[in-house]
Each structure stands twice: as C-alpha cells, then as structure tokens.
Amino acid sequence: MNRDDSPPSGRAGKAPAAKRTASAAKEASPAKESAAAKKASRAKESAPAKKAAAPKKAAAEKTAAPRKTAATVAPAKARKGESRLGMVRRARRINRELAEVYPYAHPELDFRNPFELLVATVLSAQTTDLRVNQTTPALFAQYPTPEDLAAAVPEEIEELIRPTGFFRAKTKSIMGLAAALRDDFGGEVPGRLEDLVKLPGVGRKTAFVVLGNAYGVPGITVDTHFMRLARRFGWTESDDPVKIEAEVAEIFPKSDWTMLSHRVIFHGRRMCHARKPACGACPITHLCPAYGEGETDPEKARKLLKYEKGGYPGQRLNPPADYPGRPAPPAPGVAPGAVQRPSGAR
C-alpha cells in the first residue's frame, strides 16, 4: 500500500468525518423541520374540527331528550305506542284486579240514611273521613233531621263540627242545605243530580257519593285520590275534575262507576299515596305506567301501607261486616261504644 493510499491519522482523519456529520445533520434538519411543520399544520387543521365537534356534541347533549323515568314522565304518555283500545283494556283490567285486592271497598263515611251521608260528605271537605266519623255522632244525636238542623243555633253547630276544620263555612253549608231540603223537597234528600247540585255546599263529587251509595245511581266520584290515580294510570292527562269524570266515563261501563270509584280511592289511601307511593308492595305494578314514582323496595314499601293493609284501624267507627280491618276509635274523650250507630248502607 502506498503512503498516499493509507487512511489519515489523528485530527486530520477526524475532520472530514465531522464535516460529513455536520453536513448530514444540516441535510436532516430541514427534513425534521418539514415533518414538524407538517405535523403542526395537521394539528392546526384538526383543531377547528375538534372545536367544531365540541359544540355539536354539546348541542346534541342539550337537544337530547332527558332520560325518562316514572317520576318525570306524564303518566298518560308513559306507554308509548299504546293504542286507545289498549289503554281501555288495561284500565278495565286494573279495575278487575283492584276488585280482587279490595273486595270490601265501600264509602268510608258512617251514615244511616241519605241525609246523614249528604251532611257527612259536605263535612269531609279538607279533612279525613275518620275525623268526620268521630264528629257526626254527636251532631246527628242532637239534630237527626233536616228540620232539626235547619232550626239549630249556628254557634252550637260550629262548636260541634269544629274538629273538621272550616267550621263556620261548613255550618253555613249544612244548615243551608237542611233548610233547602225542608222547604223545597219535603225534608227528603233528592235522588237526582240536577237537584242535589243546587243545594248549598254540594257539588258533583258530593252528589255522586250520595247517588251511588244511598240510591244506587251509578256515578264517578272524582276526589283528590281519584284524580291522582287516574293520571298515574294514564286514563287522563287533565287536572280538571269534570273533564276527568267525562274521560273516565268513556272507558268504563256505567254499571262499574260507583265501585270503580271506591276501589281507586281505597288504593290511593292505602298504597298509591301522593308523596311516596308504595310501589314495591303494589299488586298492579305490571299495569301501571307510573311504577317507580315511589318506594320500589318491597320491605320499605310495606312500611308505607295504611289502614287494614298496614295492620292499622280503618276510618269508620262502624265498618261493614265484610271489612277485614279494625274499626276506627271514637273521638278522644268519648267512651268506646257510647256513640256507636248502625252502619250505613253499602
């Protein structure tokens, strides 16, 4: 090998290599910069897309319907796709199954005749039937007829019915209707809706209670319990008693109206409460669109049951013979049995 052909040694040999490395680095750096630029460019281009996607997602979340639960959905709309015929069949099945749950359903006011039922129903506004049943024995002991009540001293009536609340307005109503019965109907309670609603303090609900339970004339009693359950069952969306009465009347045959009212009201008082229904103990949950509004745990739900279903006394001091629960206690301070009277007609 010639000297000239031998590889350079020392610093002289390293210099060209360093130059080549620097040169390669310079050549590589534009490539790196180019790649970085491209990456940055792509990031910039994708950023608006991501920003645009975010509002779309937010808009989708905003416009998306909230998750439906029994507590938030209007009961009448809870069963999507249910036809009118399907709703009617389901409603009538509810009535049949409630008849099995409450074969003893009855009006929960003690009475012996149409006059006592009429007065007791007027007094039951804004109070419980139990409170009325504890109050009326003393009232009817002193004023057993319309003539007697119409001639009473108002202050004495007020004192007797004070426990029922709104006693001044109620005194005016029951004394006014007693006078009307004495003067216009020969002391008898009329058996027609159009006559009953003309009496002071008597509306359609009170009239149907009297007609259905004293005269056997079918009627739908739309009280606060019936209104609540009719909406939960999906029979109506209205909160107007007259409209609810008309809509429910189209679902059920006339012969069912009175007992349907008793069963629905019984269920509303015992299980399907306004604030916390006992859904977990209810026997008709498979037919109820509002299942889940209340307590669904069976053990906890059973603790919410009232009256005979919860092992407690009922509301009547003199319940019908087939009532499975215990009678209600008399008013405080009254000896048991002191004011007991024969039970009212079914």
- Determine phi and psi for 106, rounding to 5 degrees: -160, 170
Q: Of these residues, 205, 243, 297, 300, which one is catalytic?
A: 205
Residue type, 227: M
**How many angstroms separate the CA atoms of 213 and 209, rounded?**
6
Q: Is 148 a catalytic residue?
A: no
**How many angstroms separate the CA atoms of 277 and 270, rounded?**
9
Q: Are 117 and 209 in contact (CB under 8 A)?
A: yes
> Within a 10 A sphere around the Cβ of 113, how many other Cβ atoms?
15
Q: Of these residues, 110, 129, 170, 223, which one is catalytic?
A: 223
* Tokens of residue 129, six digits: 């039937």
Q: From 25, 109, 30, select the one nearest 314 (Cα to Cα).
A: 109
Residues whose CB is less than 8 angstroms from the CB of residue 115 and which lie 6 or more positions away in sequence, other chains included: 145, 146, 181, 189
Residues whose CB is less than 8 angstroms from the CB of residue 160 and which lie 6 or more positions away in sequence, other chains included: 135, 138, 139, 142
* Tokens of residue 183, six digits: 């003067």
Total residues found in the chain within this entry = 346
Q: From 171, 219, 151, select the one nearest 191 (Cα to Cα).
A: 219
Q: From 303, 107, 319, 139, select the one nearest 328 (Cα to Cα).
A: 319
Active site residues: 205, 223
